[in-house]
Each structure stands twice: as structure tokens, then as C-alpha cells.
Amino acid sequence: MRPKIGPELEWVKSSYSSDDGPACVEVAATSGTVHVRGSKNTPGPQLAVTPTTWAAFASYAVTR
């Protein structure tokens, strides 16, 4: 079974991101991977990390 990629994923856009506002990120989670991409360049590069890595990053980011 191939992992989901690109358009097959269900992307969630940050509530801080809008068409006329600042660029933020979109996140799509599967059972074993969290995908991250820029909201202004959705066909562009993506990061794929484990849920544990994403949780550690998110925990760090909210304290900065």
C-alpha cells in the first residue's frame, strides 16, 4: 500500500493564514506521518515527519 501524498491528503490551513494575509502553513496527518507545506505554494515542497517529531516541534514552537 502506497502512503498518501499531495492531493490525496486532507490539508488543514492555519487559522492565521488567509488569501490576503500572511503566509502560513498547512498540515495533513496520517496514522504514521505528518505532512507540512506552505499555504502560498501548495504544489511546492513538503516536509514529512513522524507524529512524535511534529509534537516535539509544535511544543517547542509555541514557547517561542
Assess if residue 50 is contained within a domain: yes
Assess if residue 1 is contained within a domain: no
Tens of pLDDT along the chain (64 residues) come to 455 555 589 999 877 666 676 678 899 999 999 999 988 888 899 999 999 999 999 999 898 8
**CA–CA distance, 40 with 2 (Å, rounded to integer):** 27
* Structural domain count of the chain: 1
Assess if residue 41 is contained within a domain: yes
Assess if residue 48 is contained within a domain: yes
**CA–CA distance, 29 with 39 (Å, rounded to integer):** 16
What domain range is 42 assigned to?
6-61
pLDDT at 25: 87
CB 35 within 8 A of CB 28: yes
